Amino acid sequence: MSKMYYEQNINDAVLKGKKIAIIGYGSQGHAHALNLKESGFDVVVGVRPGKSFDQAKEDGVAVMSVAEAAEAADIIQILLPDERQKAVYEAEIAPHLTAGKALMFAHGFNIHFGQITPPEDVDVFLVAPKGPGHLVRRQYTEGAGVPGLFAIHQDATGQAKDLALAYGKGIGSARGGLLETTFAEETVTDLFGEQAVLCGGATALVQAGFETLVEAGYQPELAYFETLHELKLIVDLMFEGGMETMRYSVSDTAEWGDYVTGPRIITDDVKANMKAVLTDIQDGTFAKDWIKENETGRPRYTKYKEDGANHQIEEVGRKLRAMMPFIQAGKEKVVVK
Ligand SMILES: NC(=O)C1=CN([C@@H]2O[C@H](COP(=O)(O)OP(=O)(O)OC[C@H]3O[C@@H](n4cnc5c(N)ncnc54)[C@H](OP(=O)(O)O)[C@@H]3O)[C@@H](O)[C@H]2O)C=CC1
Ligand SMILES: CC[C@](O)(C(C)=O)C(=O)O
Ligand SMILES: [Mg+2]
Ligand SMILES: [Mg+2]
């Protein structure tokens, strides 16, 4: 088994007294900033004027411009959208990235695909929680933690690994476990996971199931409960006790259908497609296409987003969820802006 690091194995003294700049206050940014602050670390948020700036202020976190935060900090964690990082790094961070500081990421995209090349005299490492930022925050406040990966790209000070582990502990990820990787492995596996399974694979599966039922004449509300709402309940059991626990709780009929029909849906063709997706990620085809999409004003991204929001499963879901206030009760609301 790979070596896992948990809270009790990590001495976070190395991070005490250092100023940590969290650049960006979005999904990951707000979670890292608030968790680190509540773990007793010295945090400043660097973000442009606007929504996030105001939110950070309202949350009681010290907030400055990106350049001011980068200048003030010993450790600079870039939590901006991947496609914006290069421009902000070059204009506002690089001028303040002096010898002995640390540059951090939560995903290796810009280092691995050569978009950002930091100077050799700084530490460069990543701490990447394996979960959405809002859940990194929510789980931390509940005393739990989203597991994470860490990787060292440059160790100029000899302290990079200790800093990465202390940071991972500070955001709560050492409660779930920290695993060492490389920038290459983190970047490729994260992109593969989100595209093939967690986001792309899951939404396509749910949508296809919903459409199959609705096109066959069944009620859309029923199709929503069957293919989307209940998926969370099924995945909760897999999360808690693996597939075995889920199969224990469902009926034997469902379990039999799982064994005989799963492979009719996820066929060898699907696995061959997954391998092709992995190749596109590994050889840079995906990254090149995503960078070009951003350089040309995101025409396809915008259309996909619009189509997704207008799909019948979303319209039906909004109405049904409005009648189930308990879904959000007691939770920090994830507001889609
Ligand atoms: N989302 C997630 O859960 C995960 C993300 N990651 C990685 O973490 C990193 C951050 O991702 P994520 O949290 O999704 O990012 P978000 O899209 O949530 O980041 C938005 C933040 O970036 C700010 N921002 C955007 N452009 C600029 C700019 N030009 N100058 C200053 N601030 C700017 C926004 O400010 P404003 O409000 O002003 O627009 C906002 O605060 C990425 O590397 C991602 O791959 C890793 C694991 C999971
Ligand atoms: C699954 C999507 C993710 O990789 C994540 C939340 O871990 C992301 O980039 O947001
Ligand atoms: Mg991820
Ligand atoms: Mg990702």
Tens-place pLDDT, residues 226-276: 999 999 999 999 999 999 999 999 999 999 999 999 999 999 999 999 999
Q: Which atom of ligand 1 is nearest to the CA of 110?
A: 43
Confidence at 337, pLDDT banded by 50, 70, 90: confident
Ligand 2 contact, 92 CB (< 6 A): no
The string of pLDDT tens digits covering residues 79-133 is 999 999 999 999 999 999 999 999 999 999 999 999 999 999 999 999 999 999 9
Share of the chain above pLDDT 90, in %: 97
Q: Is 27 annotated as a binding residue?
A: yes
Where residue 333 falls among pLDDT bands split at 50, 70, 90?
Answer: confident
Residue to mutate, 30, 53, 80, 191, ligand 1, most ligand atoms under 8 Å from C-beta = 80
pLDDT at 216: 98
User: Residue 301 — very low, low, confident or very high, per pLDDT cuts 50/70/90?
Assistant: very high
HEC string of the chain equals: CCCEECHHHCCHHHHCCCEEEEECCCHHHHHHHHHHHHCCCEEEEECCCCHHHHHHHHCCCEEECHHHHHHHCCEEEECCCHHHHHHHHHHHHHHHCCCCCEEEECCCHHHHCCCCCCCCCCEEEEEEECCCHHHHHHHHHCCCCCCEEEEEEECCCCCHHHHHHHHHHHCCHHHHCEEEECHHHHHHHHHHHHHHHHCHHHHHHHHHHHHHHHHCCCCHHHHHHHHHHHHHHHHHHHHHHHHHHHHHHCCHHHHHHHHHHHHHHCCHHHHHHHHHHHHHHHCCHHHHHHHHHHHCCCHHHHHHHHHHHHCHHHHHHHHHHHCCHHHCCCCCCCCCC
The minimum-distance atom of ligand 1 relative to the CA of 28 is 13
* Cα 29 to ligand 1 centroid, rounded to whole Å: 7
Average pLDDT, the chain: 97
What does the pLDDT look like over 35-54, one tens digit per residue? Answer: 999 999 999 999 999 999 99
Question: Is 251 among the annotated ligand-binding positions?
Answer: yes
Whether the predicted pLDDT of 309 surpasses 80: yes
Distance CA 162, CA 151 (A): 11
pLDDT in tens, 178-200: 999 999 999 999 999 999 999 99
313 has a pLDDT exceeding 90: yes
Please state the rounded mean pLDDT for residues 144-149. Answer: 98
Cα 101 from Cα 76, distance rounded (Å): 8
Q: 22 forms bridges with which residues in the sheet? A: 45, 77
**CA 134 to ligand 1: nearest atom:** 3
- Asked if residue 315 belongs to a known ligand binding site, the reply is no
Tell which atom from ligand 2 comes closest to the C-alpha of 133: 6
Average pLDDT over residues 8-36: 98
Q: Which ligand neighbours the alpha carbon of 126 most closely?
A: 1
186 is in an annotated binding site: no
Q: Which residues are placed with Cβ below 5 angstroms of ligand 4, an ion?
A: 190, 194
Q: Is a pLDDT exceeding 80 seen at residue 332?
A: no
Pocket residue to mutate for ligand 2, from 190, 281, 290, most atoms within 8 A of Cβ: 190
Query: Catalytic site residues?
Result: 107
Indicate whether residue 186 lines ligand 2 (CB < 6 A).
no
pLDDT at 81: 98
Q: Is the CB of 209 under 6 A from ligand 1?
A: no
Which pLDDT does position 176 carry in this prediction?
98
| 334 pLDDT tier (thresholds 50, 70, 90) | confident
Atom 9 of ligand 1, residue of closest alpha carbon: 79
Pocket flag, ligand 1, residue 52 (CB < 6 Å): yes
Amino acid at 203: T
168 known member of a binding site? no
Q: Which of 137, 138, 199, 281 for a ligand 2 pocket mutation test, highest count of atoms within 8 Å of Cβ?
A: 199
Q: Quick one: pLDDT at residue 154? A: 98
